[in-house]
Amino acid sequence: MDLDPQLHYTPLAIPYSISILLLMGLTYLGAKQRQTPVTQAYLWFAVCLLAWTVSGLLELLTLNLKLVTIASHMESSCVVFMPIIWLWLALSYSNNHRTFRRFAPWLLVIPTVTLIIIWTNPLHQLWVVSVTQDLTTTWFPIITYDSGMWYYAVHIPYSYALTFTGIGILVRLFLMQKSVYRWQSVSLIVALLIPLSVEIAHQFGIQPIDGYNIAPLLFPISCGIMAWSVLGYQFLNVNPIARHFVVENMSDLMIVLDHQGRIADMNPAARKILFHDRPPKFGSTMDELFPKDDQLLTISTNRPREVDHMTIHQNGQHQVYDVKISPLAYSTGQNAGVVLLMQDITQKLQAEYDHHQTLTQSAVDTERERVARELHDSVNQLLFSASTIADLLPKAIDKKPEKVPEYVAEIQQLLHSATAEMCLILLELYPDAITETDLSTLIKYLSDAFKGITGATVHTHTPSVIKLDPAVQMVFYRITQESLQNIQKHAQATTITIRLARQDEYVVLSIQDNGVGFDTITQHSSHRFGLNNMRQRAHSINATLDITSIIHHGTHITLKWSVL
Average pLDDT, the chain: 77
Domain boundary at 381, 410, 429, which?
A: 429
Mean pLDDT over residues 48-55, rounded?
84
Domain count within the chain: 4
Identity of residue 91: L
Same domain, 126 and 36: yes
pLDDT tens digits along 227-286: 666 555 555 555 554 445 566 677 888 888 877 777 777 778 887 877 776 666 666 776
- Residue 166 maps to a domain: yes
Cα distance between residue 217 and residue 454, in whole Å: 109
Number of CB atoms found within 10 A of residue 235's CB: 27
134 and 266 share one domain: no
Domain residue limits at 357: 349-429
- What pLDDT score was predicted for residue 286? 67
Question: What CATH number is associated with residue 472?
Answer: 3.30.565.10
Q: Distance between CA atoms of 554 and 514, rounded to whole angstroms?
A: 4
Query: Are residue 36 and residue 108 in the same domain, yes or no?
Result: yes
What does the DSSP assignment read for 378-394?
IIHHHHHHHHHHHHHHH
Region of 552 (left: φ > 0; alpha: ψ -120 to 50; beta: rest) is left
pLDDT tops 60 at residue 504:
yes
DSSP designation for 327 = E
Which of 344, 378, 400 is the last residue before a domain boundary?
344
Same domain, 56 and 174: yes
Mean pLDDT, residues 407-421 taken together: 73
Burial group, residue 55, by CB count within 10 angstroms (0-12, 13-18, 19+): buried
- pLDDT band (50, 70, 90) for residue 303: very low
Q: What percent of the chain has pLDDT over 70?
A: 73
Q: What is the model's pLDDT at position 304?
A: 45
Q: Are 518 and 527 in contact (CB under 8 A)?
A: yes
The mean pLDDT value for 152-157 works out to 90
Cβ atoms of 36 and 73 closer than 8 Å:
no
Instruction: Tell me if 447 is assigned to some domain.
Output: no
Cα-Cα-Cα-Cα dihedral sign, residues 396, 401, 406, 411: positive
Q: Which residue has the higher pLDDT, 317 or 444?
A: 444
Give every CB contact of residue 373 below 8 A, 6+ residues apart in sequence.
Answer: none
In the chain, count H helices and then E strands: 21, 12
In a domain, 444, yes or no: no
| Long-range CB contacts (within 8 A, 24+) of 122-127 | 126/150, 126/151, 127/76, 127/151
Distance, CA of 276 to CA of 279 (rounded, Å): 9
Q: For residues 100 and 131, what is the distance between their CA atoms, to the nearest angstrom?
A: 36
Encode pLDDT of 450-491 as tens digits: 887 777 888 999 887 788 888 898 899 889 988 988 888 888
62 and 75 share one domain: yes
